[in-house]
Amino acid sequence: MKLFLCQHCSQLLYFENRQCQNCGHRLGYLPSVATLSALEHDNNVWRALALPTGRFRFCNNAQYDACNWLVPAESSETFCAACRYNRTIPDLTRRENLERWGKFELAKHRLFYALIRLGLPLPSRTEDPDQGLVFDFLADAGGHKVMTGHEDGLITINLSEADDAEREKLRLAMGETYRTLLGDLRHEAGHYFWDRLVRDAGRLETFREFFGDERQDYEIVLQARYANGPARNWQQSYISSYAAVHPWEDFAETWAHYLHIVDTLEMAFAFGIGIRPGINERTGPGVALNFDPYDTGSIHRLIEAWLPLTFAVNSIIRYMGEADFYPFVLSPPAVAKLGFIHELVHQNRRV
């Protein structure tokens, strides 16, 4: 994720900002150039100071304060490049639904920031009626429990996870060390891209070399995990305990972590962070996060920057009395799987 500057007053801005707190300009995000722009009224539309020749209007979901992305004024689309993938949203007359959906939309827009920056194929249901990407945000109702998951391009999200207490309850029940809204969305997107970039692209044999044979019965191994808990010594080969359930979950978890790494490193790069342990010479050379992680061709360069960053931030955050922000150990097999996904992403970039 980037940092941004107000084009009118040079105030530091963040991705989710709606208004510059220094000069008062309305702000809108331009996904075509990955820029948050200060805006000025131009009749019934907006002129973006970052792209002064264009005219824009806000996504229809701006009325719910769920989106700050812009749509070209001449476009027939009423929703932005992230919101147009929504098929179902909850009843927003219920305040609880509105608040929870808004939290998920912030996370989903962060996901789409990354997917668009990576130039990955994102066909909608209009372009691919059978397997195009689409989201259902649903609330439990009448005794019916919504199951978060992915099937044939459809990502279904249970809104209850936007409640911190409910999400923590699920995290403990699943024996997980980490569970966030953005992590859930990145994971489910991993299932979608497994279909598109592995199964449908003829890469199954190479996939099996890293992740194992996905033809094993999913329901059987899933029930075994629920009955017996995580696989023994999963840390030696997997990025998380849930990744050990099945090769599909291994891929989705590794995909999510790849996006964690790239997006977090970009923010560290934006802040100009460098890591130099100040103990003694044997701690090794410092690491300067002075490259764009979205454009690097080497997974090893990403990992060489990621590990010192996580060591440092984990150490700092513990003294706020909080759990580690990245509570994982990347074993050599896990890094190799990240390398597979890195190559897969870069082979399929469209920009």
Q: pLDDT tens, 167-223?
A: 988 888 877 888 899 999 999 999 999 999 999 999 999 999 999 999 999 899 888
**287 & 326 share domain:** yes
* 80 in Cβ contact with 71 (< 8 Å): yes
* 175 in Cβ contact with 241 (< 8 Å): yes
The alpha carbon dihedral of 116, 121, 122, 123 has a sign of positive
- What is the reported pLDDT for 299? 94
CA dist., res. 252 & res. 246, Å (int)? 10
- Kindly state the greatest CA–CA separation across the chain: 64
Q: Decide if 345 is inside a domain.
A: yes
- What is the reported pLDDT for 306? 92
- Domain of 351 in residue numbering reads as 203-351
* Residue after which a domain boundary falls, among 81, 99, 130: 81
CB proximity list for 99: less than 8 A, separation 6 or greater: 162
**41 & 10 share domain:** yes
**47 & 29 share domain:** yes
**173 & 260 share domain:** no
**169 & 289 share domain:** no
Q: Decide if 321 is inside a domain.
A: yes
CA dist., res. 265 & res. 293, Å (int)? 6
H-type alpha helices, 126-246: 164-173, 181-193, 204-211, 218-228
**Interval 84-99 mean pLDDT:** 95
Exposure string for 321-335, b = 16+ CB within 10 A, e = fewer: eeeeebebebeeebb
**28 & 74 share domain:** yes
**92 & 184 share domain:** yes
SS3 227: helix
pLDDT of residue 76 exceeding 90, the answer is yes
**174 & 293 share domain:** no
- What is the reported pLDDT for 1? 83
Q: Decide if 198 is inside a domain.
A: no
Please count the structural domains in the chain.
Answer: 3
**Interval 270-274 mean pLDDT:** 85
Q: To the nearest whole percent, how much of the chain has pLDDT over 70?
A: 96
CB proximity list for 295: less than 8 A, separation 6 or greater: none
Pairing of strands 45-48, 35-42: antiparallel
Output DSSP code: residue 242. Answer: G
- What is the reported pLDDT for 45? 93
Exposure string for 21-54, b = 16+ CB within 10 A, e = fewer: eeeebebbbbbeeebbbbbeeeeebbbbbbbeeb
**95 & 124 share domain:** yes
Q: Decide if 26 is inside a domain.
A: yes
**164 & 279 share domain:** no
**Interval 327-336 mean pLDDT:** 94
* Residue after which a domain boundary falls, among 60, 81, 102: 81
Pairing of strands 134-138, 86-88: parallel
User: Contacts for 90-96 with beta carbons within 8 Å, 24 or more apart?
Assistant: 90/137, 90/138, 90/139, 90/159, 91/139, 92/64
Point out the least confidently predicted range of 36-45, 60-69, 71-80, 280-289: 280-289
pLDDT of residue 24 exceeding 60, the answer is yes
**40 & 153 share domain:** no
pLDDT of residue 77 exceeding 60, the answer is yes
Q: pLDDT tens, 273-331?
A: 888 765 555 555 566 677 889 998 889 999 999 998 998 899 999 999 988 989 999 99
